[in-house]
Amino acid sequence: MDKHYQQFLVVAELGNISQAAEHLGLSQPTLTNNMKKLEAAFDVPLFIRRSKGVELTEYGLKFQEQALDLQRRHHALLHAMADLKARKTRKLKIGTGDAWWELFVKQALQHYSADHPSISVQLEFGNHLKLMDLLVHGHIDLFVGHEIVGLSRKCPVRFIPLLQDEEALFVHQSHPLLVNQRTATDIELYPLLQVTPDSEHFRQLLENPQPKQLNLERQKASERIVYEINSLSASLDMLRHTRAIMPYPKSMTVFFARAGIVPLPSDGLGQTSTVGLYQLNQLQADHVEEFKQQLIQNVPPAETYP
């Protein structure tokens, strides 16, 4: 930001050139001359000189308003540049869904950190729309999640497929549906538990919201009791103490079994989707590219899934 603009803001705030000069570490004649240069540049009077200080003219008030806006944008730019520099040098910022963390991201990060102990790491958890918002705003370098069907073409991102995922319906191991023969209608009688559901705040990322809406209709979400929980751990606690049903990646079957959570018997026709890695559609820093390769290497083969 122009130094004369910065000096003007100090004078405007203090209302006294002598005090402003002392605050800025300048001589009073130098600061007075700089303010006169500003007035000459705009060909308008910015100050009314009084015996005890200065007041802003109508032009001065308008200039103060615009200079403050420039100052805010300048600070935001400095912050953004510092953040970009950190991401491209010594900090890895990644996002993931809880399932993929347990399945392979955790192991990949452990291996990477062991090989690069001096690099800082920022880890964000959430559903794919939240993580996409963080990615397009430059807050993370990449994330692992389901492919977003209907994503806006304005999002400057690239998707790298990693694996195919099948949805299962998880319940507590003593759930009534495990004892009695079930039908689709029976399932709809029980509460639906949604882990890290989509937030309306991120819907602007979708160019076509219909696939999301069709999925909610398939689950009869508008006709059932719904528990929306933004924590996988809390979701498992809720399943253990209620008769709720939780749609979740089938690949988590072994992990959930330790907590007494099991999938309902399936006919093999569960919803399938692609899980992959999202990154900005631009050249990645070397350390980000290296971690990406580590991630790809740690994706388990399909035959290891339940």
Segment 251-278, tens digit of pLDDT:
999 999 999 999 998 765 568 899 999 9
> pLDDT value at position 282?
87
pLDDT beneath 50: ranges in the chain: none
> pLDDT value at position 184?
62
What is the spatial distance between Cα 171 and Cα 155, in angstroms, rounded to a whole number?
36
CATH 3.40.190.290 domain position(s) in the chain: 89-304
> pLDDT value at position 71?
86
276 touches 96 (CB < 8 A)? no
Q: Is 170 exposed, middle or buried (0-12, 13-18, 19+ CB in 10 A)?
A: buried
> pLDDT value at position 268?
57
Tell me the pTM.
Answer: 0.66
- By three-state DSSP, how is residue 198 classified? coil
Q: Is 241 exposed, middle or buried (0-12, 13-18, 19+ CB in 10 A)?
A: exposed
What is the spatial distance between Cα 96 and Cα 128, in angstroms, rounded to a whole number?
8
Among the listed residues 150, 280, 175, the one whose alpha carbon sits nearest the alpha carbon of residue 238: 175
> pLDDT value at position 143?
97
Supply 6's token pair.
Answer: 């910065």
Among the listed residues 245, 123, 240, 260, the one whose alpha carbon sits nearest the alpha carbon of residue 190: 245
CATH class of 89-304: alpha beta
CATH 1.10.10.10 domain position(s) in the chain: 3-87
What is the spatial distance between Cα 70 and Cα 75, in angstroms, rounded to a whole number?
9
> pLDDT value at position 183?
65
User: Cα-flanking dihedrals φ and ψ of residue 64, to 5°?
Assistant: -60, -45
129 touches 198 (CB < 8 A)? yes
Among the listed residues 149, 90, 135, the one whose alpha carbon sits nearest the alpha carbon of residue 286: 90
What is the spatial distance between Cα 147 and Cα 292, in angstroms, rounded to a whole number?
17
What is the second-level CATH architecture of the domain 3-87? Orthogonal Bundle (1.10)
Among the listed residues 267, 261, 153, the one whose alpha carbon sits nearest the alpha carbon of residue 205: 153
Beta strands 226-229 and 192-195 are parallel
Q: Which residues of 206-233 are buried (b: 16+ CB within 10 A; e: fewer)?
A: beeeeebeebeeebebeebebbebeebe
Supply 162's token pair.
Answer: 């990693």
> pLDDT value at position 83?
66
- By three-state DSSP, how is residue 277 classified? strand
Among the listed residues 231, 227, 222, the one whose alpha carbon sits nearest the alpha carbon of residue 244: 227
What is the spatial distance between Cα 12 and Cα 6, in angstroms, rounded to a whole number?
10
> pLDDT value at position 255?
93
**What is the length of the chain?**
306
212 touches 136 (CB < 8 A)? no
